[in-house]
């Protein structure tokens, strides 16, 4: 394989890998591609209240299950004086609070932050149909059978049957007419539906949820029913007969297990309050992947301490600067003094802001050039001369800071962000170019360097680019692949179209 096709192969692999990882992180882990995106995080607080009777107390509440339509980012339990543990029992998590004895009203809080997850959770199929536990009176049974056969006639399959049934139950309950509802006194639409579905032999279960409404307090849990149809669980909302998980409901628990069990107390109540708040999408994604323990994130920059992370933020911008230099040198053909000096200047510009940076840079370099001109007459060895220039540059920097501070121009204090070795080398190189090639070349190369540095600065401080390089370091692979491809570019540079302008005419004829 020729070296050229090797380069292209590598470039394609790197490019695909970089884009692929980026999309994975964006699509699956939810890292936002653009800065400033936020996501709705719901804070749900459940409050358990009861009257203690003085006996030993055991409170057991079911906790949100995996397979919910929301991911729990954080949870906290608060019940002073209570012992607390979480118990896992055939796939269900329950919180258990215990106390030897208490009197009077008791309150227990369980608070959690949740965020929507759009992954459709695949749920286990229903377990073997257990023998019916229904005990119905003869009147109830006949009324129900009647009702069911009517529904059956006007439906096509299990799903349409269930929806039609829920709708019928709802309307007849509202109109309060003598129908199946009245036979089953005090039963809600969802409870009734579950009984009827069991009679009909359609696998079904109760789904308990919390309705998400910003600022809503003291609400009860909402009941939904879920039927198993063609290998899939489908939620039906008994309130409106709509199928599918409602957008504004946090599915807490599936199956008919009790929400709260209480020993040693009476008049127990569970009430929910919900608040919506917007959080940066990245924070949410990070919390999420922490909980899901994604190895990909575990071995990323995010696992570093925050301090090193912010150092990396800067370092990860350097490839962007390098790309700008590569583009301007190879495609445009600009001359710069020192290949990567413009990047270092650009990094300094980030701290100083470009305008102040430019002013500081130009004034120090020109004063330095003037002093260097004097030094060159003193017959110094090169290393000693550069060191002398470094020392003078530092002196100049200090002098400049003090004077400008006294004059009230605090921006000039940022002068320390310029690496002084770079300043000294620039002065040295520029003075040699001045001697050998004249001031025109100094303007060309110095101006070229500053121009490239400015462009690199604007590229590096672009909020989108900054966001992407830090949050998707795998984009480094994409930059690498672009650099590899440009390294193979053998076309004309923009400046050559000017340089060879006379050749187009053809002097010969």
Partner 1 sequence: MLFVKPSLLKERGIIGMNRRNVDYIARYNDRKLYPIVDNKLITKEYAKKHNIAVPELINSIQYQFEIKQLEKILTGIDKFVVKPAQGAGGKGILVITDRKGDIFYKPSGKEVTFDDIKRHISNILSGLHSLGGKTDVAMFEKLVDFDPVFEPYSYEGVPDVRMIVFQGYPIMAMLRCSTHESDGKANLHQGAVGVGIDIKTGRSLFAVQDGRMIEKHPDTGSAFSELQVPHWEEILPLSAACYEMTGMGYLGCDIVIDKNLGALILEVNARPGLAIQIANDEGLLKRLKMVEEHAPKSTSPEERVKYSLEHFATD
The residues that touch partner 1, with contacts defined as CB under 8 A, are: 330, 333, 379, 381-383, 432, 436-437, 487-493, 496-504, 506-508
Nearer to partner 1, 78 or 488 (CB): 488
Residue 120's SS3 state is coil
Nearer to partner 1, 409 or 432 (CB): 432
The C-alpha atoms of residue 270 and residue 495 are separated, in whole angstroms, by: 75
Nearer to partner 1, 382 or 407 (CB): 382
Nearest to 326 by CA among 465, 429, 446, 480: 480
CB of 31 to partner 1, least distance (A): 37
Question: In the 8-state DSSP scheme, what is residue 54?
Answer: S
Nearer to partner 1, 375 or 450 (CB): 375
Question: In the 8-state DSSP scheme, what is residue 256?
Answer: S
Written as six digits, the tokens of 157 are 């399959």
| Beta-bridge mates of residue 262 | 59
Nearer to partner 1, 175 or 507 (CB): 507
Continuous H helices in 407-505: 420-461, 463-471, 475-486, 494-499
Nearer to partner 1, 131 or 491 (CB): 491
CB of 482 to partner 1, least distance (A): 16
CB of 384 to partner 1, least distance (A): 9
204-211 and 92-99 as β-strands: parallel, antiparallel, unpaired? Answer: unpaired
Query: Is-contact 238 223, C-beta < 8 A?
Result: yes
Nearer to partner 1, 299 or 374 (CB): 374
The C-alpha atoms of residue 262 and residue 264 are separated, in whole angstroms, by: 7
CB of 377 to partner 1, least distance (A): 9
Residue 135's SS3 state is coil
Nearer to partner 1, 255 or 333 (CB): 333
CB of 506 to partner 1, least distance (A): 7
CB of 11 to partner 1, least distance (A): 15
CB of 304 to partner 1, least distance (A): 36
CB of 433 to partner 1, least distance (A): 10
Count CB atoms within 10 A of the CB of residue 277.
11
Task: List, edge to edge, every strand of the sheet that includes 216-219.
Answer: 70-78, 103-116, 38-53, 265-280, 216-219
The C-alpha atoms of residue 448 and residue 437 are separated, in whole angstroms, by: 16
Place of tokens 């309150």: 107
Nearer to partner 1, 225 or 482 (CB): 482
The C-alpha atoms of residue 310 and residue 289 are separated, in whole angstroms, by: 20
CB of 491 to partner 1, least distance (A): 6
The C-alpha atoms of residue 184 and residue 139 are separated, in whole angstroms, by: 10
Question: In the 8-state DSSP scheme, what is residue 47?
Answer: E
């Amino acid at each position: 394989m020729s070296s050229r096709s090797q380069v292209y192969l590598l470039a394609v692999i790197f490019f695909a890998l970089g884009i692929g990882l980026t999309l994975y992180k964006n699509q699956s882990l939810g890292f936002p591609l653009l800065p400033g995106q936020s996501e709705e995080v719901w804070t749900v607080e459940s409050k358990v209240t009861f009257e203690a009777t003085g006996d030993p107390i055991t409170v057991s509440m079911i906790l949100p299950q995996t397979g919910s339509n929301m991911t729990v980012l954080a949870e906290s339990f608060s019940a002073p004086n209570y012992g607390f543990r979480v118990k896992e029992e055939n796939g269900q998590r329950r919180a258990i609070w215990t106390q030897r004895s208490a009197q009077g009203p008791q309150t227990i809080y369980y608070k959690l932050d949740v965020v929507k997850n759009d992954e459709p959770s695949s749920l286990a199929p229903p377990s073997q149909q257990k023998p019916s536990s229904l005990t119905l009176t003869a009147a109830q049974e006949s009324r129900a059978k009647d009702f069911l056969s009517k529904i059956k006639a006007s439906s096509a399959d299990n799903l349409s049957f269930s929806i039609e049934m829920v709708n019928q139950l709802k309307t007849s309950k509202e109109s309060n007419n003598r129908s199946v509802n009245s036979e089953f006194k005090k039963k809600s639409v969802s409870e009734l539906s579950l009984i009827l579905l069991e009679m009909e032999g359609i696998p079904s279960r109760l789904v308990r949820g919390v309705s998400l409404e910003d600022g809503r307090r003291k609400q009860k849990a909402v009941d939904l029913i879920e039927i198993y149809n063609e290998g899939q669980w489908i939620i039906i909302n008994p309130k409106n007969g709509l199928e599918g998980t409602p957008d504004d409901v946090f599915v807490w628990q599936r199956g008919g297990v009790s929400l709260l069990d209480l020993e040693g107390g009476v008049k127990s109540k569970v009430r929910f309050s919900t608040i919506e708040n917007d959080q940066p999408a990245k924070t949410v994604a990070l919390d999420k992947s922490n909980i899901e323990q994604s190895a990909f994130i575990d071995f990323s920059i995010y696992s570093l301490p925050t301090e090193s992370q912010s150092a990396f933020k800067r370092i990860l911008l350097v490839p962007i600067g390098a790309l700008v230099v590569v583009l301007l040198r190879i495609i445009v053909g600009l001359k710069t003094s020192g290949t990567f000096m413009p990047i270092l200047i650009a990094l300094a510009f980030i701290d100083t802001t470009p305008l102040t940076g430019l002013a500081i840079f130009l004034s120090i370099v020109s004063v330095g050039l003037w002093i260097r001109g004097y030094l060159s007459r003193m017959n110094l060895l090169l290393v000693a001369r550069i060191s002398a220039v470094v020392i003078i540059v530092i002196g100049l920097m200090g002098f400049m800071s003090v004077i400008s501070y006294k004059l009230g121009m605090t921006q000039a204090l940022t002068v320390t962000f310029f690496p002084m070795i770079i300043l000294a080398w620039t002065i040295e190189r520029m003075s040699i170019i001045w001697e050998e090639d004249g001031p025109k070349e100094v303007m060309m190369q110095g101006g070229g360097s500053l121009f490239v540095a400015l462009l690199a600065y604007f590229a590096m401080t672009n909020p989108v680019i900054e966001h992407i390089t830090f949050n998707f370091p795998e984009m480094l692979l994409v930059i690498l692949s672009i650099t590899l491809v440009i390294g193979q570019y053998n076309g004309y540079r923009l400046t050559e179209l000017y340089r060879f302008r006379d050749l187009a005419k053809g002097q010969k004829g």
